[in-house]
Amino acid sequence: MRAAVLGSWKVRIGLGIIGLFTLAAIFGPWFNSVVIGYNAKALNYFAIGQSPNSHHLLGTTSTGQDVLAQLIAGSRNSLLVGALAAVVGTALAILFGVTAGFFGKGVDTVLNFITNLFIIMPVFPLTLVVAGYLQGTGPVTIALVIGVFGWAGGARTLRAQTMSLRNRDFTMAMRMIGESRIRLIFVEVFPQLSGWVSAMFLHGVIGGVLAEAGLAFLGISNPDTVSWGTMIQNAQQQNAILNGQWWWFIPPGLCIAAIGTATGLINFGIDEIASPRLRSVRRAVVKRTRRRTEETSGGLPQPEEAAV
């Protein structure tokens, strides 16, 4: 199954995009100082608001900062928050989902109720308000807040999967032998869920990036950090739109869009493999076959009497 998943071109492109940004996140500042030559935060009052040119490939901000450098450096913060949020979110999803699915009855009722509650509640405003209360808004804090409020959807899936696993013959057999439930969870159930968990983690990273950007845009961010969200926010505050400085806010948005598209593609690809019916057969292929058959066999055999 894993091989099939990686074989889909949609999944490959999606993973490729994410891979590219991960590289940017890891090597960003080094790349900035060595290749581009500008620090993301370096102010330069001699180069304010320049449109893209040979010195600054993506132009500069209203304080002379190089946009491209910011973009690359920003990927680190964005992805960091995304990854951390995903870790927290996935951990919580496993905690709630697997426990509820495995132990059932009372435990399940309570945990499931909490999960349903978090699914329905408007998470973003909630995140916004809580983040608004908190005094320190460094990347770690933001990631924690995003993770704590965003695990519910994954928990529901894991619960359903765990419940179906629990009812399968091999689990029942092991429980009859007397296998301890904790051991069962770790040794038997987890490996089966690994596919779901990794998909959920990936989703969580991307969701985290989007949430961070949204929060930063609304002003919830550490003033020191440079991330795609803060770039857009700064652009908004400095009236980039009114000044026509499209190079400032369009590239970071495109990066976020790229990450979002990567998710979509991966989802699409996985969906198609999970249910092959979604792999649409091109009508062109069918028409081609029919035409070919008619040509080679000299048309379909003549009916005895003309049809109606």
Partner 1 sequence: MTQATADVTLAEESAPRAAGRRNRGFLLRRIGFYLIAAWSAITLNFLIPRAMPGSPADSVIATLQQKGGALTADTVASIQKIFGQPRTNIFHQYWNYLGQLAHFNLGLSTSSYPTPVRSLIGQALPWTLLLVGITTILAFCIGTSIGIICGWRSGSRLDSTLSPLSTFLAAVPYFWVALFALWLFGFQLGWFPLAGGYDPNSAFGSSPRFWISTLQYGLLPALTIVFSSCGGWLLGMRNMTITTTSEDYVLLARAKGLSPRRVIFRYAARNAILPQFTSFALALGSILGGALLTETVFTYPGVGHLLYQAVSNRDYPLMQGILLMTTLAVLVANFIADSVYVLLDPRTREQGE
Partner 2 sequence: MNALASVPDPDDDLLLDVRGLTVEYAMAERSVTACADIDLQLHRGEILGVAGESGSGKSTLITALTRLQRPPAVTTAGQILLQYENRRLDLVQLEEKQLRALRWNTVSIVLQSAMDALNPVMRLGAQFADVLREHEPRISADSIVARTRELLGLVGIPDNRMRSYPHELSGGMRQRAMIALALACNPGLVVMDEPTTAVDVVMQRQIIGQILRLRQRLGFAVVFVTHDLSLLLELADRIAIMYAGRIVEIGTSADIYAAPRHPYTRGLRDSFPPLHAPLQKLSGIPGTPPDLNELPVGCPFEPRCTHGFDACRSDRPELLSIRSGSSQANGHLAACHLHDARLQPPALPTELSAHVDR
Binding footprint of partner 1 on the chain (CB under 8 A): 113, 116-117, 119-126, 128-135, 210, 213-214, 217-220, 232, 236, 241-242, 244, 246, 249-250, 253, 256-257, 260-265, 268, 271, 275, 277-278, 280-283
Report how many residues bind partner 2 under the rule CB under 8 A: 17
Is 176 a binding residue for partner 2 by CB under 8 A? The answer is: no
Task: Give the helix ranges, DSSP H, for the chain.
Answer: 2-7, 9-31, 67-103, 105-120, 123-133, 139-149, 152-166, 169-177, 181-184, 190-217, 228-237, 246-274, 283-296
Query: How many angstroms separate the Cα of 131 from the Cα of each of 25, 216, 221?
Result: 24, 11, 9
Residue 214 contact, options partner 1, partner 2, none, Cβ 5-8 Å cut-off depending on partner type: partner 1
The residues, any chain, with a CB within 8 Å of residue 1's CB and separated by 6 or more, are: 195, 273
Q: How far is the CB of 280 from partner 2 (least distance, A)?
A: 9
303 lies in the binding site for partner 2 (CB under 8 A): yes
- Residue 281 binds partner 2, judged by CB under 8 A: yes
Contact indicator for 144, 103 with CB cutoff of 8 Å = no
Q: What angle do CA 181, 192, 187 make, to 5 degrees?
A: 35
Q: Which stretch binds partner 2 (CB under 8 A): 5-13, 18-26, 88-96, 300-308?
A: 300-308
Distances (CA, A) of 116 to 62, 159, 211, 233, 237: 45, 12, 21, 33, 38
d(CA 37, CA 55): 10
Q: Which of 46, 135, 285, 295 binds partner 2 (CB under 8 A)?
A: 285
Nearest approach, Cβ of residue 288 and partner 2 (Å): 7
- Write down the least CB distance from residue 245 to partner 1, Å: 9
Q: Quick one: 102 exposed, middle or buried, by C-beta within 10 A (0-12, 13-18, 19+)?
A: buried
Which one, 44 or 141, has the nearer CB to partner 1? 141
N- to C-terminal Cα separation, the chain: 50
120 binds, among partner 2, partner 1, none (CB under 5 to 8 A by kind): partner 1
Question: Residue 126 touches which of partner 2, partner 1, none (CB < 5 to 8 A by kind)?
Answer: partner 1
Is 169 a residue that touches partner 2 (CB under 8 A)?
A: no
Q: Would you say 178 or 301 has its CB closer to partner 2?
A: 301
Asked if residue 288 binds partner 2 (CB under 8 A), the reply is: yes
Residue 135, contacted partner among partner 1, partner 2, none, CB below 5-8 A by kind: partner 1
Rg (CA), the chain: 26
Residue 60 bridge partners (DSSP) = 66
Query: Among residues 54, 176, 191, 304, which is the contact residue for partner 2, using CB under 8 A?
Result: 304
User: Using CA atoms, how far apart are residues 80 and 18, in angstroms rounded to an integer?
Assistant: 13
283 binds partner 2 (CB under 8 A): yes
Enumerate the β-bridge partners of residue 66: 60
Pick from 120, 182, 242, 308 the residue near partner 2 by CB under 8 A: 308
